[in-house]
Amino acid sequence: MRMNWLSKGLLVGLTLAATSAFAADYPSKDVHIIVPFKPGGGVDTTSRILAEYGNKHMTKGKLEVENRAGGGGIVGQTFVAKAKADGYTVLAMTSSVVTNPVLKETAYKISDFKPVALYNMDPEVIVVGAESPFKTIADLVKASKDHPLTVTVAGIATSHHMAGLALEDAAGLKFSYIPTKGFGAQLQAVMGGHVEMGLFPLGEIKKHADAGTVRILAVASDKPMEILPGVPTWQDSGLKIKRWTTFRGWAVPKGTPDAAVKYLSELLGKINADPAYVKQMTDYGFPLAYADAKGFTEVVDDYAAITDKVIKDHGLKEQK
């Protein structure tokens, strides 16, 4: 049966009314931030900081952090992709949500998510133990010419493993990779001298560097960082990589109402403007990098282009 103009007008009116009612009522209950990793890593830590400061602005319900680890992030990412698109399930979105569907068979695609906002860009750092004979990045580069350096990374085909592959390609370094299943084991391997170096996101390792248990030799940022005095960039160290950063932000299932996306994006903006939040994130070593949904989408697209090349060049895609 064909709809006449009156029926169409009524349908549009009802849709607009429902959208307006949703916008006015949202959020009316707790919003769950799904962290697809175990507690203690950078995604979990920053998510809990965000929840603490975000709850100051929540008039109804609160932000609740929920860990759903497994499969290198796939378990939690799949959970969000299949969740009801109502604004109450949010993915703590990091770089692995881009690479996992390229590397493995997953039940979701990157297009199953709608980016909400970016809050952190975390540069990769080269780290050695406090007792390491490598005092500078030049020492480490020289040693790599003699033999493949043992390097611990948080899993194979992660952004950190890919950073090592990119260093081999660009700077001619030689690595032998020792993967771990988590940050704790990776940290212990470096601190205990069981490996010669580690590749970490700055935010996860900075407090340990501040405590003197490890040393950061070089950072993959565009320019030297004030919070890392005396630490050169990869580019300035002759490693021929200008920037290698992982991102952290929020995403929701596709189909989530624009009103919910707008509310959550603006909430992250309010948090980002809180001086206490800025200080805490900075002290932890998590560089702030707020961008709205449009800006975050551009970051995701850029990262996909960079990592797709590494995955293709090194045949990282999982074989059936």
Position 19 pLDDT exceeds 70: no
Range of weakest confidence among 35-49, 79-93, 214-228, 299-313: 299-313
- Close Cβ partners of 223 (under 8 Å, ≥ 6 residues apart): 233
In this prediction, residue 176 carries a pLDDT of 97
If one counts the domains in the chain, the total is 2
180 and 278 together in one domain? no
Query: 217 Cβ partners below 8 Å, 6+ apart?
Result: 125, 126, 127, 128, 134, 136, 137, 140, 197, 231
List the beta bridge partners of residue 123: 245
Examine residue 240 and state whether it is found in any structural domain, yes or no. Answer: no
Is residue 291 domain-shared with residue 270, that is, in the same domain? yes
Are 22 and 75 members of one domain? yes
Indicate if 117 and 252 belong to the same structural domain.
yes
Same domain, yes or no, for 168 and 202?
yes
* 274-285 tens-digit pLDDT: 999 999 998 888
Same domain, 207 and 260: no
Q: What range defines the domain where residue 174 resides?
A: 123-219
Give a yes or no: residue 230 inside a domain: no
Domain-located, residue 238: no
Nearest in space to 97 (alpha carbons), one of 129, 118, 79, 74: 74
Q: What percent of the chain has pLDDT over 70?
A: 92
Q: Is residue 7 part of a domain?
A: no
Q: Does 92 share its domain with 133?
A: no
CA dist., res. 44 & res. 62, Å (int) = 17
Closest CA to 83 of 94, 103, 68, 98: 68
Same domain, 114 and 249: yes
| Whether residue 305 has pLDDT greater than 90 | no
Query: What is the per-residue pLDDT for 15?
Result: 45
Among residues 150, 185, 219, the one where a domain terminates is 219
In a domain, 151, yes or no: yes
To 5 degrees, how large is the angle CA 172–CA 175–CA 180? 145
CATH of the domain at 190: 3.40.190.10
**For residues 179-195, average pLDDT:** 93
Model confidence over 135-162: pLDDT tens digits?
999 999 999 999 999 999 988 888 899 9
104 is a domain residue: yes
Percent pLDDT > 90 in the chain is 74
| Same domain flag for 89 and 140 | no
Distance CA 34, CA 93 (A): 9
Note whether residue 109 is domain-resident.
yes
Q: Is residue 4 included in any domain, yes or no?
A: no
User: Which CATH number does the domain housing residue 90 bear?
Assistant: 3.40.190.150
